[in-house]
Structure 1
């Protein structure tokens, strides 16, 4: 049987002080509860990341494989999307771990025994707070370094793939549309790489529409990108003013394929691809020109990278504190769990509202910090309330 070390705290006036200053001196029970939280957190994080990642991987697979990309490109894109997926699930996983471990320890009388020996709710919440800070540090690392880096690499690779005309547009027997007003058709691709029966319609010119046909064609590298070399064909131009048709026959003709592809904008610098240190080092006056967005949005993004990670700690504390309001029950604490879920939804609404307000008005940036601060305040209030209600007056589910 495991022996737990505890420190009864009869003086409620010093609960908060002891809660903060005793953090480095974790007892055996604290380490036990912290290990349980971390283990369950790892499980929930793995499950949630897998669900999110599979959902994203399906759409990536359809888009990339459908465009003729290899499996290695699909795997690369999926791995680059992982940091952002992990960032999204961290608060939910921390909340789920705190609720699951607290509910199990209440059901198995472990927390009830600690409370009976004199440990206060604040004393029992100490390892949960340490657990929340651990998840917050991981969240800060993701938000400020890993996610921007992975987003930058992902956008760069997307820009490269979008310009890979060999994979995207060399499909036999299909009418392809590289950009509005452009239609490309290839009748056959021989074993030696020659394109046969090529049809190209370009309706982007304001003066005329041009139709290019060729019996055979080849792809060749050019200074600015791939070039389509067409042989034994003709160009039919129809003037928009009077409808006059002019025909030009040629033995060989070169066409810049990059001019046919609609600009994707994937390589454009955006604030999501810049690390926090890069944003801070950039002059705020130059933010709109540097990141192609408003000053308010960049400021909101910067503060969100510091505020949102603390939602993970707040969610863990709320999950633990809500269950302290219930009495011991072999059937669990259903009402308290539902209440904690409602509080988490409320905090998410506060977070979304605060971010929207800051994106519209630069002076409203403190609203971004309302959600995590409200989470800690609600958790503190529930812990205090759990000590004010006698155990025999609590309703068990």
Structure 2
């Protein structure tokens, strides 16, 4: 790569990274707000909340990356056109196809990133989310024990907590344990925390007292404690199996699902649709890059022409992406839908490259330009401003 190629390559990737981080951050915040109940109703820590919601970021990047690349290429070409650098490079003998080289290199980097995310990172994140969420919801201590309610965990065991505090602390704990027919235990504690270890799950109580009513004795035995461990292993379901959905499967698992896979037997069409979506994910950056450069890569002399080309590139990319989504939906029932999607992608890439090599310049129709100029002139006269071309 020459110095000009490196300059354009760095500018494009820097713009891509900025747009990707910005769009992903905004969308991630909207998604993360849905899981805020992890810290409120279920008493999870902020690290658990950030960990679970952060695992969805690879899936967001998978969808946003091609769009971010298109915006980055548009920004770089617009910057080059505004500074008249495209005109200078064209006068120096740079053909549009030669100018496309650094953008192609940047597209290859983005395509490799998308391929890795589609094959491994995104399904791995979704798999971890499902396993983590299952561990939280399956545990009775975080799922059944709700503040202000008496939870009957067993026929002879009742627990009530007053509130959940930050850090997973349970405040105002009352336990009525009548599982032993020879005695009845009533425990009241100021606070408690759930501790899980290899030996099981324990509710560690602090600053409380225990009243033991034994059969045959009139007076209860009262014990005051500063720390007491109450065994809850029986009510903690941590060793259950998690059924993985289609989005949680790695790419090679979609290629060759097990013959006894119950999910595959139920929805084989969704396996087909997801498989082709993963394979086509790295192709979308090339299609978006080719279409965007085909519309914006040629030198422009008027603002109207540049704006028209920007609008045309947006419509072309948006139409291709919407058609891709439609084919993904139809692929569930029709094996021909993925073939149509492949044909559209390769047609977009081929058409864009042909326009670049042939030097096709997308210009607005003369009638449209005249209408825009007349409208601008009327607006300028209305506000008493000089008319500009």
TM-score (norm 1): 0.68
- Contiguous gaps of at least 5 residues in structure 1: 1-25, 179-183, 199-213, 233-253, 260-264
The correspondence for 1:186, drawn from 150, 160, 174, is 160
Which residue number in structure 2 is paired with residue 245 of structure 1?
none
1:40 to 2:28 alignment: no
Deviation at 1:174, TM superposition (A): 4.4
Deviation at 1:187, TM superposition (A): 6.5
Equivalent positions of 1:8-157 (< 5 A) are: 26-157=1-132
* 1:132-191 deviation digits (Å, cap 9, x = unpaired): 12111100000001111111111100100111222333233248899xxxxx98365899
- Structure 2 distance, partners of 1:381, 1:162, is 55
CA contact (8 A) 2:162 2:171 kept: no
CA contact (8 A) 1:149 1:275 kept: yes
Q: Secondary structure of the equivalent of 2:124?
A: helix
CA contact (8 A) 1:45 1:93 kept: yes
Deviation at 1:317, TM superposition (A): 2.2
Which residue number in structure 2 is paired with residue 195 of structure 1?
174
Equivalent positions of 1:302-313 (< 5 A) are: 302-313=275-286
Deviation at 1:38, TM superposition (A): 0.8
Which residue number in structure 2 is paired with residue 289 of structure 1?
262
- Structure 2 distance, partners of 1:55, 1:177, is 36
Which residue number in structure 2 is paired with residue 162 of structure 1?
137
How has the CA–CA distance of structure 1 residues 126 and 168 changed in structure 2, closer, same or farther, with 3 Å as cutoff? Answer: same
- Structure 2 distance, partners of 1:191, 1:381, is 67
- Structure 1 distance, partners of 2:130, 2:91, is 56
How has the CA–CA distance of structure 1 residues 304 and 28 changed in structure 2, closer, same or farther, with 3 Å as cutoff? Answer: same
Which residue number in structure 2 is paired with residue 274 of structure 1?
249
Q: How many residues align?
A: 326
- Structure 1 distance, partners of 2:89, 2:129, is 50
- Structure 2 distance, partners of 1:119, 1:81, is 43
CA contact (8 A) 1:107 1:332 kept: no
- Structure 2 distance, partners of 1:88, 1:389, is 28
The correspondence for 1:318, drawn from 242, 267, 291, is 291
How has the CA–CA distance of structure 1 residues 290 and 386 changed in structure 2, closer, same or farther, with 3 Å as cutoff? Answer: same
Which residue number in structure 1 is paired with residue 334 of structure 2?
361
Q: Secondary structure of the equivalent of 1:39?
A: helix
How has the CA–CA distance of structure 1 residues 320 and 124 changed in structure 2, closer, same or farther, with 3 Å as cutoff? Answer: same
- Structure 2 distance, partners of 1:191, 1:121, is 66
Divergent runs of 4+, >6 A: 175-178, 189-193, 214-221, 225-228, 393-397
Deviation at 1:31, TM superposition (A): 1.9
**Root-mean-square deviation (Å):** 4.2
Q: Secondary structure of the equivalent of 1:167?
A: helix
CA contact (8 A) 1:325 1:382 kept: no
Equivalent positions of 1:236-275 (< 5 A) are: 257=235, 267-275=242-250
- Structure 1 distance, partners of 2:101, 2:12, is 12
1:375 to 2:339 alignment: no
- Structure 2 distance, partners of 1:177, 1:122, is 73
- Structure 2 distance, partners of 1:191, 1:306, is 48
- Structure 2 distance, partners of 1:169, 1:36, is 53
Deviation at 1:125, TM superposition (A): 1.2
- Structure 2 distance, partners of 1:345, 1:188, is 53
- Contiguous gaps of at least 5 residues in structure 2: 164-168, 178-184, 204-210, 213-231, 373-388
- Structure 2 distance, partners of 1:331, 1:191, is 65
